[in-house]
Structure 1
Amino acid sequence: MKAVRVHEYHRDPRIDEVPEPRITGPWDVIVKVGAAGLCRTDLHVIEGQWDPIQHPSLPYILGHENAGWVTEVGTAVTNVSPGDTVIMHPLVTCGLCLPCRAGQDSHCENSTFPGLNVDGGMAEFMKTNARAVVKLDSAMKPTDIAALADAGLTAYHAVRKAVPLLPPGSHAVVIGSGGLGHIGIQSLKALTAAEITVLDHSEEALELATTSGADHVLNTADDAGKLLEITGGGAHVVFDFVGENGTEALGITALRNRGSYFSIGYGGAVNVDTIEIISREISVVGNLVGSYLDLTELMTLTSQGKVSLHTQLYDLEDAVQAMHDLDRGNLVGRGILVPNLVG
């Protein structure tokens, strides 16, 4: 089968011919990939940022946002059958450790992370397990939902955590209306009554923010005073879907006293004097992917038409070009890789 594999860091991945995955355990599930989302994390993987954390053995297959159709299951699998349409939670978890039993899938003590430390879904087939697959209505298309497996899940997870902080009359600021941000805006609209202001440097992204439900949009080059005026002195919650190149400082500045800065995008650093944290009583909150329950809730919102993805399709063999488009800012929304899209 064809697969997009990283052979060395700081080099473009290659399109290789590799053996198809096989069932080796009772809980295994083999999925024919219908679509694999392209994420900025994939660029960070190629840069080597995840190597000290995940320690993958090179070469391996990228792709942690995957949806498709079940083709084969292990002997213990009962929740899905061959032919079912599924989306995969990005982590393959054990179900036995304390974090798993508490529903904190992202912190499983024995997990693997397809696309980050084992073979992922930028291929024609991938192997996962029964705990990771969410069975969907057969009418749902993998190309429409694949990126919700991580980008959508991460955005939704952050918003879900912030719901108690955003009662009617509150104000949320969203930094970045790209692949994560436009899902975050829709999630905010679906779960809260907060007023939403979106910041981005791209006019196309700001247009996407407006169509996604933003109440106000501002170019990041605009006077910061406009943001404080719109928010009435600062946001109750800032969702930073960029997390680098100065958005970290902007996010802290945009907060009102006792506000919360939700860090979602990454690559930079949050540098705040402790006296500022104390005197303003502000909070910095990290957000890592989301739980299986978060993903099922997000799929419900999607089936209700309350969350949808803005996508651009690429053939799997054009994965490197898609990554270059993402890196250069030429991709608005989410890039989706589809095996055998052409012909």
Structure 2
Amino acid sequence: MSTMRAVQVVGYHQKLELAEVPVPEATGPWDVVVRIGGAGVCRTDLHILEGQWAQKSQVRLPYTIGHENAGWVHAVGSAVTNVREGDKVILHPLITCGLCRACRSGDDVHCESSAFPGIDTNGGYAEYLLTSARSVVRIDDSLEPADVAALADAGLTAYHAAAKAARRLTPRDTCVVIGAGGLGHIGIQVLRALSPARLVVVDRNQAALDLATSIGAHHGVLADGSQVESVLDLTGGHGAEVVVDFVGENGSTSEGIAMTRQAGDYHVVGYGENVDVPTIDLISTEKNVIGNLVGSYNDLQDLMALAATGAVTLHTQKYALDDFQQAITDLDNGAVRGRAILVP
């Protein structure tokens, strides 16, 4: 049996460890084994190590993390017809059944019997990954797996939220994006592609704001304590029709709701703290608080169409698989511009 390198969670509040594990095989009819070309490093991976997902995922340790994956098809099961060996693919993060009501509706994120590589089963911080035919999206020849891997989750989540926001935004509206990091910098590009609204980006880091304005944001606001006032000033004192919060911690939720106009939408995408709003404030302003998970398979197809035309580009910092600890440390310290990618 051939083996491969894989980065594994061996215990919560412990460092990740590199291990030699068996290469997965395509034993089931719909199985697809992918040779990983790039795996994104996500803040959720830090939250996993802190044990935040232990109850939700019920995963057994040790296991391999990494839920933003792209590469080349290595092997396929007997029933697979949509891809073949050698195809360049990006992976929808979930392995879904295809048969439940949610899957039939194209809302496969809420599949009743899904697996989530990197969260509750083995993920892509490795040389190979097992997924299913339903989860693979062929990518344009012009794209390289290591350059687009983080579009599988960070990009897909940002696309899902931005597409929901764009449905209500008109040319007279303002959309505030909180956080121009790994998710935010993709969300900004998607909003520019899908929406005519004015885009205002809030971030505590000037370099992130510079990146944001270079990729299409109309205004950058430094989160220095006066960001709520700045947004209110830019919107005639009313607030923005839509706020998309890619941070979701360190006080961003109360600030985001304060920046939202009456009857506006506050989208939570990043997470880490509780949303605390007096009910009287919700009913008197008719503000909507909207949760956003990752996008659907169709969302991923749409996002890859934008990527193929160059409307969305991922800014990446690449690390060798063996340097996984440096990537995790850099992300934790806020030293990554865009998205960190592990390359086996």
The Cα shift of 1:225 comes to 2.1
1:58 aligned residue:
61
Aligned residue type for 1:83: G
Q: In the alignment, is residue 86 of structure 1 matched against residue 85 of structure 2?
A: no
Confirm whether residue 300 of structure 1 aligns to residue 297 of structure 2.
no
Give the whole-Å Cα distance in 2 for the aligned partners of 1:338 and 1:36: 7
1:42 partnered with 2:45:
yes
1:261 partnered with 2:246: no
Supply the distance in 2 between the matched residues of 1:231 and 1:264 (Cα, whole angstroms).
23
Verify: 1:16 aligned to 2:19, yes or no: yes
Asked if structure 2 preserves the Cα contact closer than 8 Å seen for 1:84 and 1:138, the reply is no
Equivalent position of 1:285 in the other structure: 290
Q: Which amino acid aligns with 1:74?
A: G
Q: What is the aligned length?
A: 339
Rounded to whole Å, the distance in 2 between the matches of 1:225 and 1:9 is 40
RMSD value, Cα? 0.8
Q: Distance in 2 between matches of 1:178 and 1:319?
A: 19
What is the TM-score with the length of structure 1 in the denominator? Answer: 0.98
**Identity of matched residues, %:** 56
Q: CA deviation at 1:137?
A: 2.3
Aligned equivalents of 1:211 and 1:37: distance in 2? Answer: 23
Distance 1:278 1:333 in 2: 37
Conserved 8 A contact 1:34-1:67: yes
Distance 2:41 2:253 in 1: 23
- Measured in 2, the distance between the counterparts of 1:211 and 1:231 equals 22
The DSSP-based 3-state class of the residue aligned with 2:18 is strand
Counterpart selection for 1:271 from 261, 264, 276: 276
Residues 41-190 of structure 1 aligned to structure 2 (within 5 Å): 41-190=44-193
**What's the counterpart of residue 35 of structure 2?**
32
Could you tell me whether the CA contact under 8 Å between 1:38 and 1:65 is conserved in 2?
Answer: yes
Residue 330, structure 1, aligned to residue 335, structure 2? yes
Mapped to 1, the partners of 2:341 and 2:284 lie a distance apart of 45
In structure 2, what is the equivalent of residue 216 of structure 1? 219
Contact 2:142 2:308 in 1 (8 A): no
The whole-number CA distance in structure 2 between the counterparts of 1:261 and 1:100 is 27
| Correspondence for 1:230 | 234
Residue deviations 1:96-136, cap 9 Å, x none? 01111111111101100000000001100010000000012
Q: Which amino acid aligns with 1:231?
A: T
Q: Note the residue ranges of structure 1 that are not aligned, 5 or more in a row.
A: none
| Inter-partner Cα distance in structure 2 for 1:84 and 1:158 | 29
TM-score, structure 2 length as denominator?
Answer: 0.97
Measured after TM superposition, the shift of residue 332 of structure 1 is 1.4
Distance 2:235 2:120 in 1: 41
How far apart in 2 are the matches of 1:173 and 1:139? 32
Deviation at 1:154, TM superposition (A): 0.2
The superposition leaves residues 271-295 of structure 1 with CA deviations (integer Å, 9 ceiling, x where unpaired) of 0011000000000000010100000
What is the rounded CA distance, in whole Å, between the counterparts of 2:141 and 2:10 in structure 1? 36
Partner secondary structure for residue 167 of structure 2? helix
SS at match of 2:33: strand
* Structure 2 counterpart of 1:68, one-letter code: G
SS in 1 for 2:263: strand
| Structure 2 portions without partners, runs of 5+ | none
